A and B are shown apart, each in its own frame.
Chain A
């Protein structure tokens, strides 16, 4: 079977969940081959996890200049690898970096590109969701190989132990790869909460939360449910919570198992970012709020009464 190249994303905590999902998808298309691109030593730290989730091969492209520049060096590595390996498909996460890599690679290879897919069939046809999840599209790359960006949380990653034979890849960079230099990376994410787009539970607050201090109530419920915290645009624009936690149009798209909307009316721009969530619950004082049209379970009431009571009840049951 031909190899399927999976572009690995990792952070300080190790391999990102989206990469494990890609490996799970890749098994249906061919032999999963993970591509690790980073500083010297990057692959060694990730090998076990990648093997556990089915990477038969790991291409290790390690160079000092990969991490301190935006995506261009990675694109050069991948372009060489695609020419050498002739893979059945290239899968990236539909993340900021994944999409940027895919966009450049598409130009470099003169190859079609499908983004925001939630599934990819054995023949390379991808299922995408468009217009805030309201439309489902099946599409295919018609020039080149299937180059597909898959959304986080589109599949449950399942282990399938494989050999993970590590193959070093020579990294040859040009000046064009070094145009955008990263001089500093600042982590603002608070505590140990899961990343918003990868979390299986997201608890979001909206304008109804009232102010920045009250967001501790949202955070508390998120922590009790092991989830990430999100915010509506209204809450972000009012300065209650930072923009990187914004869910909806002009923010993140999330698709968790459980989405909890607190004090969020559910404007179409917010629904754009969350309506493919598996289960949605909402608390809002306005019974006419459109969020209740989506909610599997809704409580019309004061979030400042309902949420603390819910938190207390969860603690009791633990």
Chain B
């Protein structure tokens, strides 16, 4: 089974993140950029499937040049190679354009399975797997906490608000995973060394046959009109428990009409 794992480089969610003042896009220069955490679970799932059933695992990333660091990090976990779609015209792309570019790259790679994280920690939009499935005419099994492959049949336990759903589809399909699905491996020293020699193919918009003006900020289907910092919450009252902390808590809740 040939698997493509989508990897996105995002600003570290553990640090302060901002939008730029000039073009309202994510300020990627101001933050440490890391692999989107959930994508590591997708990589791990791909590697486990490869260990069980063979095939190739390829990383697919769309992003600026410096996303190459994240691609090497992803490769150090064990995938065979990567495709990096990078083009200055892609900056500011909306989800719709991003899905068009990724779908074009996926068509060339022709995978049996596309794995990705259930959401990115920057946008948290969760629409990409379904957008890709829609464009590629594939099933999208999203929010998986368990994935089973039996021949060309995929079965996932899809986490829902109320419990889970068992969903099946034939390959090829897009599967997005939550962090409950496995425990990603740490890259070994050997893996880190090997990653430096693995093939990373750089692909431009022209290579994919997509006109530059139809993506990026120029081709965006939505626009940010303005953005501002939410006023910081002002800290309220904090009391030390001296035996009546529970009562004082309820007194507060009562003044706010919650009790």
Chain A residues in the interface with B (C-beta under 8 A): 11, 70-72, 75, 95-96, 99-100, 102-104, 106-108, 110-116, 125, 129-144, 176, 179-189, 195-197, 201, 225, 243-244, 249-250, 253, 257-258, 267-269, 272, 275-276, 279-281, 283, 287, 292-302, 305-314, 317
Contact = CB atoms under 8 A, between A and B. Distances in A.
A258 B138 CA distance: 42
A136 to B, nearest CB: 5
A179 B139 contact: yes
Given A136-B230, A294-B233, A313 B167 contact: no
A204 to B, nearest CB: 15
Given A137-B227, A243-B145, A293-B233, A258 B256 contact: yes
Given A110-B96, A136-B228, A186 B165 contact: yes
B259 A125 contact: no
Nearest to B233: A294
A113 B134 CA distance: 15
Interface in B158-195: 158-170, 173, 178-180
Contacts of B13: 132, 249, 268-269, 272
8 contacts: A96-B142, A99-B126, A134-B16, A135-B227, A142-B221, A180-B173, A185-B165, A314-B253
Given A100-B126, A293-B235, A139 B14 contact: no
Contact of A107 (B121, B131, B236): B131
A133 B230 contact: yes
Given A99-B125, A106-B131, A281-B249, A111 B169 contact: no
A135 B249 contact: no
Interface in B200-238: 220-230, 233, 235-238
Interface stretch (B43-51, B62-70, B74-82, B240-248): B240-248
A309 B229 CA distance: 38
Interface of B: 13-19, 24, 37-38, 94-96, 99, 119, 121-122, 124-128, 130-131, 133-135, 137-143, 145, 158-170, 173, 178-180, 220-230, 233, 235-241, 244-250, 252-254, 256, 258-259
Contact of A196 (B133, B142, B161, B230): B161
Contacts of A176: 137
A244 B239 contact: no
B96 A180 contact: no
Contacts of B236: 295-298
B-side interface mostly: mixed
A305 to B, nearest CB: 7
Given A244-B163, A272-B13, A257 B258 contact: yes
A252 to B, nearest CB: 8
A95 B215 CA distance: 27
Nearest to A189: B162
Nearest to A70: B167
Given A70-B141, A116-B125, A144-B221, A317 B163 contact: no
B15, B94, B173, B258: most-surrounded residue (chain A CB, <10 A): B258
Contacts of B133: 104, 179
Contact of B249 (A134, A137, A138, A310): A310
A131 to B, nearest CB: 5
Given A115-B127, A116-B124, A299-B239, A107 B134 contact: yes
A96 B229 contact: no
B247 A244 contact: no
B221 A141 contact: yes
Nearest to A71: B130
B258 A139 contact: no
A68 to B, nearest CB: 10
A106 to B, nearest CB: 6
Contacts of A116: 124-125
Given A295-B236, A299-B245, A308-B246, A179 B230 contact: no
Given A70-B167, A186-B164, A179 B240 contact: no
Contacts of B16: 134
Contact of A70 (B140, B179, B256): B140
B127 A106 contact: yes
Contacts of A104: 130-131, 133-134
A73 to B, nearest CB: 12
